């Protein structure tokens, strides 16, 4: 439309260059790292904005195949002094066995990124990386499909004051075949763990959990999925981990009804998962849950209970949300399957 003098009534369309810096930063923070770095080549203003520390506090590099050289470049030009969370993956499943995290790079991360508290690594070979190279500022460590050396998580007795080791509060281990009882004892001996997640940790045994139990009194969240633990582990949990708020025992088929009796001492428990634990009778599950005054969520997925049985459980737990879904493709539809075959099949589906 035009006015009487022939001029346009509407202003010309605005471009990104017309936006203030604060708005552009809000846009850039949502871009993936690769697109963000590409924006640095648009103009001098964008190059300056891309280097703002607020954009590099939480960096997810898992979608990219990174090499050590690329990480050094990011550290020197963007991550220094701002990084708080770093997620990356290596080449452990690739034909190219290249190292991504070298001892020198890890030490540089610790010195130049003092606020780095969350490290998530996937498919990374860490066997050549000493534990004393890990940034001491870390409080959360996530490892999935990784390889770690036998001496990891161990803090030597009488270590020098200048040798700072991370005080891990939240540890998430998924499909790390080398994680063993010794690793569990080493990390628990620090006495700082509040969250422990172990998925498909086949080398962790009831005896290993019992050995570490005296150091796990501060645990608030415990996940032991498809670990093959038994009643002895449940006894340890009920006796030593009284501060638990959430407990996930999915896929531990060796547990029996005796395990439920041991867990009745967890008076602070709010979330309980017994998914795919087929050896538990519904009446025993109901008795346990009624003995937990703060329970608000119960997961019974994969349990072959009849609708009438589920209704009885729901009626007995009026203040609790009960999940009980059963995928049609779940291998539990074959009741003649042996427990060991069932365990392996569910583990493969869980890894997918």
Render pLDDT for 53-108 as a digit per residue (tens, 0 to 9).
999 999 999 998 888 898 999 999 999 989 999 999 988 766 566 678 889 999 99
Q: What is the pTM of this model?
A: 0.84
**pLDDT digit string (tens) for 196-211?**
999 999 999 999 999 9
- What are the residue boundaries of the structural domains of the chain, listed by start? 14-56, 59-351
Q: What is the CATH number of domain 59-351?
A: 3.80.10.10
Contact 165, 155 (CB under 8 A): yes
More confident residue, 342 or 18: 18
Coil, strand or helix at 2: strand
Contact 258, 234 (CB under 8 A): yes
Give the whole-angstrom CA distance, residue 134 versus residue 138.
8
Q: First CA to last CA across the chain, in angstroms?
A: 58
Give the whole-angstrom CA distance, residue 104 versus residue 135.
11
Helices 307-316, 282-290: crossing angle, 10 deg rounding? 10
Give the whole-angstrom CA distance, residue 136 versus residue 247.
28
Q: For residue 334, what pLDDT is reported? A: 41
Q: What is the CATH number of domain 14-56?
A: 1.20.1280.50
Q: At 207, phi and psi to the nearest 5?
A: -65, -40
Beta-carbon contacts of 111 under 8 Å, excluding residues fewer than 6 positions away, are: none
């Amino acid at each position: 439309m035009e006015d009487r003098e022939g001029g346009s009534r509407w202003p010309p369309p605005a471009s990104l260059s017309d936006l203030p810096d604060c708005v552009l930063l809000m846009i850039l923070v949502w871009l993936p790292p690769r697109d963000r770095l590409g924006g640095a080549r648009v103009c001098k203003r964008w190059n300056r904005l891309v280097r703002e520390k607020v954009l590099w506090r939480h960096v997810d590099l898992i979608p990219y195949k990174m090499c050590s050289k690329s990480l050094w470049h990011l550290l020197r030009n963007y991550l220094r002094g701002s990084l708080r969370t770093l997620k990356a993956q290596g080449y452990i499943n690739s034909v190219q066995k290249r190292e991504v995290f070298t001892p020198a790079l890890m030490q540089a991360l610790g010195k130049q990124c003092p606020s780095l508290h969350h490290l998530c690594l996937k498919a990374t070979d860490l066997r050549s990386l000493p534990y004393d190279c890990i940034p001491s500022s870390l409080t959360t460590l996530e490892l999935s499909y990784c390889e770690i050396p036998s001496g990891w998580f161990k803090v030597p007795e009488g270590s020098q004051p200048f040798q700072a080791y991370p005080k891990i509060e939240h540890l998430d281990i998924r499909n790390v075949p080398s994680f063993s009882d010794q690793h569990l004892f080493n990390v628990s001996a620090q006495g700082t763990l509040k969250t422990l997640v172990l998925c498909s940790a086949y080398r962790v045994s009831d005896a290993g959990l019992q050995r570490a139990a005296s150091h796990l009194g501060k645990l608030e969240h415990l996940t032991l999925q498809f670990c093959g633990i038994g009643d002895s582990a449940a006894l340890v949990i009920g006796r030593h981990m009284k501060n638990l708020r959430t407990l996930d025992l999915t896929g531990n088929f060796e547990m029996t009804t005796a395990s439920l009796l041991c867990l009745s001492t967890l008076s602070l428990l709010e979330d309980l998962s017994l998914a795919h634990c087929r050896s538990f009778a519904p009446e025993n599950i109901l008795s346990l849950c009624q003995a937990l005054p703060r329970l608000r969520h119960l997961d019974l997925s994969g349990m072959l209970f009849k609708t009438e049985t589920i209704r009885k459980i729901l009626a007995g737990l009026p203040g609790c949300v009960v999940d009980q879904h059963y995928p049609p493709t779940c291998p539990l539809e074959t009741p003649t399957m042996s427990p060991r075959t069932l365990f392996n099949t569910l583990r493969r589906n869980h890894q997918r």
